[in-house]
A = this chain, B = another copy of it.
Amino acid sequence: MKTQKKRSDCPVSFSLEAFGDKWSLLIVRDLMLHKKCTYGELAKSDEKIATNILAARLLSLEENGIIQKLEHPDSKAKVLYQLTQKGIDLIPIIVEINLWAEKYMEIPEKRKELVSQMNADKEGFIRNSINELKAAHIEKTK
């Protein structure tokens, strides 16, 4: 994975260089909303990401400071993937994407509850998610 030259000096453009590919935000979603934290769990996403792509995206997300690799408390064979603060701060983007989808697309029944929560109290949902994530991180690393 080579360092990608900036396409321009626009904030949107270089944000997209960090997470604007086909998979990165889905990985972030899984780390964030689905409480996944190992390679194996991430590989079992609904979208069936290829394992080589998963590895490549995890590396690039790490290089971009969005996630970090830690020792897994349960086993040396596992790796603990966690969002950094920079990654956690992607929550508002993920939330807005969900809300846009809610307005314009069919949301499957099982996802409606979560999206409703976002809609009812966006700021609260974000605050809550951040707190839950951080609590889970402390739990895992202690």
Q: How many copies does the complex hold?
A: 2
Q: Tell whether, in the assembled complex, residue B26 and residue A107 are in contact, meaning their CB atoms are under 8 Å apart.
A: no
Q: A16-B26, A22-B20, A103-B89 are in contact. Are A11 and B97 (CB under 8 A)?
A: yes
Chain B min CB distance to A16 (Å): 6
Give chain A's interface residues, CB within 8 Å of chain B: 7-16, 20-22, 25-26, 29, 45-48, 65, 86, 89-90, 92-94, 96-105, 107-108, 111, 115
| Chief secondary structure at chain A's binding surface | helix
Given A93-B93, A96-B92: A101 in contact with B20 (beta carbons within 8 A):
no
Interface pair B16/A25, CB less than 8 Å apart? yes
Q: How far is the CB of A60 from chain B (nearest CB, A)?
A: 14
